[in-house]
């Protein structure tokens, strides 16, 4: 019974890491790559750690696994958010199939402050969407 | 609220000490017994929030895991099939969450769901900008998140 649960969990975890690494190759632009990689790898590593915790019936292993999962869940979204924000700020183009970009023109160029409402209309708010596939390669 | 939680932890620690086996399943069983004892003892109290909140937290964890599983399946399907099915876009999302703790939990949950990525939070903490992979319509996405994830999360926290 335990072996079946372990097999299912570890297979799903390993497959999710595999799909994340294929996603890095296949996704057309930076944001989609980031979006695919961070979540799938968090889920995959989490499932593998849960497997380790079930397999070794030792309190120290379980404690370490839970601590690692906790810190992974706390830190991975923050890392993804910081990388994505930096990429948007330095002008990494979005994929050509992007249908909407409501963030365009919301940043104050000098102070780097982000507004929640459109304040003035004179600044340039054309979305930075790539026209061809080569721009986002 | 916090007094009940600490009391429950104390009762489960006593259960673990009495049974003498230091496993997480045993601790969880002790926690359930402690919860039941506290519920019986506090039936006449006016403050019943703790006893509503713990089942809500458990159901929220399962709801979130289910959403995570569904979204992961969708993304995995899109990664391994040759055609791209997604329509990405950056959406402006007005939050109802106000305090830093609520915003932190909400953004972590949204970021952990595959297909959505927090790009930035506005400086007045009113809106977040989300990069969504499967966007049919911005209004639909905002409404679904507001009535699904955020409502459930705020029902626990408030």
pLDDT tens digits, B125-143: 888 888 888 887 888 888 8
Residue A80: which domain range? 2-89
* A50 and A11 part of one domain: yes
CB contact A102 to B (< 8 Å): yes
* A9 and A29 part of one domain: yes
* A20 and A76 part of one domain: yes
Classify B132 as helix, strand or coil.
strand
Lowest mean pLDDT among A40-49, A52-61, B76-85: B76-85
**Model ipTM value:** 0.78
Instruction: State the sign of the Cα–Cα–Cα–Cα dihedral B19, B20, B21, B24.
Output: positive
Please indicate whether residue A69 or residue A119 has the higher confidence score (pLDDT).
A69
User: With 80 as the cut, is the pLDDT of residue B63 above it?
Assistant: yes
* A19 and A61 part of one domain: yes
CB contact A34 to B (< 8 Å): yes
Number of CB pairs, chain A paired with chain B, less than 8 A apart: 132
User: With 90 as the cut, is the pLDDT of residue A7 above it?
Assistant: yes
A68-93 pLDDT, tens per residue? 999 998 898 888 888 988 888 887 78
Please indicate whether residue B45 or residue B89 has the higher confidence score (pLDDT).
B89
Nearest-by-Cβ selection for B119 from A73, A103, A113 = A103
Q: Which of A32, A113, A117 to mutate to test the interface with B (most CBs of B within 10 A)?
A: A32
* A76 and A103 part of one domain: no
* B145 and B95 part of one domain: yes
Domain count, chain A: 2
Per the CB < 8 Å rule, is B90 touching A43? no
Q: Which of A8, A19, A111 to mutate to test the interface with B (most CBs of B within 10 A)?
A: A19
- Can you give the pLDDT at residue A11? 93
Q: Residue A54 belongs to what H/E stretch?
A: helix A30-55
Residue B10: which domain range? 2-47
* B29 and B61 part of one domain: no
* B23 and B58 part of one domain: no
Domain count, chain B: 2
* A64 and A108 part of one domain: no
- Spatial contact of B92 and A103, defined as CB atoms under 8 Å apart: yes
CA B155 to each of CA A30, A111, B42, B57: distance values in angstroms, whole numbers, following the listed order: 35, 36, 22, 10
Q: What share of chain A is helix, strand, coil (3-state, %, to 5)?
A: 60, 5, 35
* A103 and A36 part of one domain: no
* B27 and B57 part of one domain: no
* A85 and A110 part of one domain: no
């Amino acid at each position: 019974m335990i072996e079946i649960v372990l097999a299912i969990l570890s297979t799903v975890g390993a497959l999710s890491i595999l799909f994340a690494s294929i996603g890095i190759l296949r996704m057309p632009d930076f944001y989609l790559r980031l979006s695919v990689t961070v979540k799938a790898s968090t889920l995959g590593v989490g499932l593998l750690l849960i497997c380790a915790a079930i397999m070794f019936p030792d309190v120290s292993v379980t404690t370490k696994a839970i601590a690692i999962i906790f810190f992974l869940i706390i830190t991975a979204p923050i890392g993804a958010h910081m990388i994505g924000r930096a990429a948007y700020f330095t002008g990494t183009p979005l994929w050509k199939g992007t249908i909407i970009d409501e963030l365009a023109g919301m940043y104050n160029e000098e102070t780097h402050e982000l507004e929640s409402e459109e304040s003035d209309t004179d600044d340039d708010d054309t979305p930075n969407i790539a026209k061809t596939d080569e721009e986002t390669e | 609220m916090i007094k009940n939680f600490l009391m429950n932890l104390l009762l489960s620690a006593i259960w673990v000490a009495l049974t003498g086996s230091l496993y997480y399943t045993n601790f969880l069983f002790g926690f359930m017994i402690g919860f039941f004892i506290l519920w019986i003892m506090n039936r006449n109290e006016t403050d019943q929030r703790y006893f509503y909140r713990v089942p809500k937290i458990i159901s929220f964890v399962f709801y979130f895991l289910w959403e995570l599983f569904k979204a992961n399946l969708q993304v995995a399907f899109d990664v391994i099939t040759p055609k791209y099915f997604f329509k990405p876009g950056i959406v402006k999302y007005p939050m109802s969450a106000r305090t830093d703790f609520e915003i932190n939990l909400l953004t972590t949950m949204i970021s952990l769901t595959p297909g959505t990525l927090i790009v930035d939070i506005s400086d007045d903490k009113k809106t977040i900008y989300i990069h969504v992979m499967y966007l049919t319509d911005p209004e639909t996405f905002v409404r679904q998140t507001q009535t699904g994830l955020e409502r459930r999360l705020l029902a626990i926290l408030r």
